[in-house]
Structure 1
Amino acid sequence: MSATSCSLCQFWSSSIGKKFVVAITGLVLVGFLAGHLSGNLLMYVGAEAFNEYAEFLHSMLHGAGVWIARIVLLISLVLHVVATIQLTKANRASKEKRYECDATVQASKASRMMIWSGLTILAFIIFHILHYTVRVDSELAALADAGNAYQMVIVGFQSIPVSAFYIIAISLLCSHLSHGVASIFQTLGLRSKKTASLIDGLAKAYTVIIWVGFVSIPVSVLAGWIH
């Protein structure tokens, strides 16, 4: 085994290394959510704008761009989930605090539920990919082939069970984010007594925007505001 491989193994084996991996992959996923939401909100602009956006994503870098993004996101997600699970198991076994710092950090309800909300979100992501990317539904597949991503979203969310699952998953995701976003700054050493309130405020504001933005789309479809 090379020296580089040994160093990476030692880094991954340490709790500090895992926390750093969780923080960096968390940043990637947080950035993705913001970008994904900005694209989804084009549903309110109209079919032409949203379909052009969908076409741009699939033609970016001659079609390779969307696959590069998917691979990066998949690797980030897997590393994020695996590192979080291992940290949670280790912390429970040793009865240590999640973070060791001068200020006492008390685990909120959201932080204690992160492992379960994270697994539920993972299940939702798999379902979401099968629903809108793999398109196991023949009607959605036909709309995608016709280049009508706008109508594909509407048809998908006209199903009450699908919309309900989506809203529940987004709500759990935001519960995860309410603790996770602020934790990223702490792990990277960017949180202090002076910046704590600002960081907490930004984390809460980001979480609210993400929740309202994503949830509003299935609600608008079911209410007939988007059609």
Structure 2
Amino acid sequence: MAVTGGILVLFLVAHMVGNLKIFLGAGDFNHYAEWLRTAGEPAVPHRTVLTLTEVVLTLAVLLHIWSATSLALRARAARPVKYESRKKSHARGYATHTMRYGGVIIALFIIWHLLDLTFYAVNPLGSSATPYDRVIADFAPDRWYITVWYVVAVLLVGLHLWHGAWSAFNSLGWRTKRNDGFLRGLAAVLAVVIAGGFVAVPIAVTFGWVG
């Protein structure tokens, strides 16, 4: 769970940095999108690095879901009787109690995101436009509901990441009584930075700051 989560966090950071290139203009953003497909050439064929990355990410997501399900079933089997009070549970806070449902929403968001900007099935401009133009069309002011959907999903990703990062620190044996507060703060900062970076793009496009 912690290892696959770490892989996904690294991807989120890299993806966020790439997305923020939209603030540098159409040329830089389109060049970045093209680089994703040509990375490694001519040493390896076109799109090889991107395809391998997609395979690793797919395996990480599937293993992450399998780990979450396995842990939930083991926890239920270990304590079939519910806690008399939520305060007695080691699971703490709103983030903990929404991890399961938030994970489902995040999964649906990933499917929509792939259909939108990878397969272009639900993008207004389809495959004929540039990556920059597709993003601008996606979050146009008249499509504010797409922006709302994106922002809500990303905030859930941030919530998931906040709890997940701290849990990973704990699972890997890094947490002690002395550094507990620091690690919780680090998890919160990581979640805020990543969620904020992703949310910045649709909001900027919708309000006309980019485009």
TM-score (norm 2): 0.87
Task: Specify every segment of 5 or more residues in structure 2 that has no aligned partner in the other structure, as ranges.
Answer: 41-45, 83-88
Q: Distance between the aligned counterparts of 2:177 and 2:29, measured in 1?
A: 43
Structure-to-structure mapping, 1:64-213, within 5 angstroms: 64-95=48-79, 105-136=90-121, 137=123, 139-143=125-129, 148-158=130-140, 159-213=143-197
- Classify 1:152/1:185 alpha carbon distance in 2 versus 1 (closer, same or farther; 3 Å): same
**How far off its partner does 1:46 sit?**
0.9
| Structure 1 alignment gaps of length 5 or more | 1-21, 98-103
Higher helix share: 1
Cα drift, residue 106 of structure 1: 4.1
Query: Is the contact made by 1:88 and 1:115 (CA closer than 8 Å) also made in structure 2?
Result: no
Give the alignment partner of residue 33 of structure 1, picking from 9, 12, 17.
12
- Distance in structure 2 (CA, Å) of the matches to 1:119 and 1:211: 18
Q: CA deviation at 1:43?
A: 0.7
CA distance in 1, matches of 2:112, 2:64: 19
* Distance in structure 2 (CA, Å) of the matches to 1:182 and 1:75: 22
On the 8 A contact 1:140/1:155 being kept in 2, the answer is: no
- SS at 1:65 equivalent: helix
Deviation, structure 1 residue 60: 1.2
Code of the residue aligned with 1:132 in structure 2: it is L
Distance 1:153 1:139 in 2: 9
Query: Over the residues paired in the alignment, what is the CA RMSD in angstroms?
Result: 1.7
TM-score, scaled relative to structure 1: 0.81
| Percent of residue pairs identical | 34
Quickly say closer, same or farther: Cα 1:138–1:167, change in 2 above 3 A.
closer
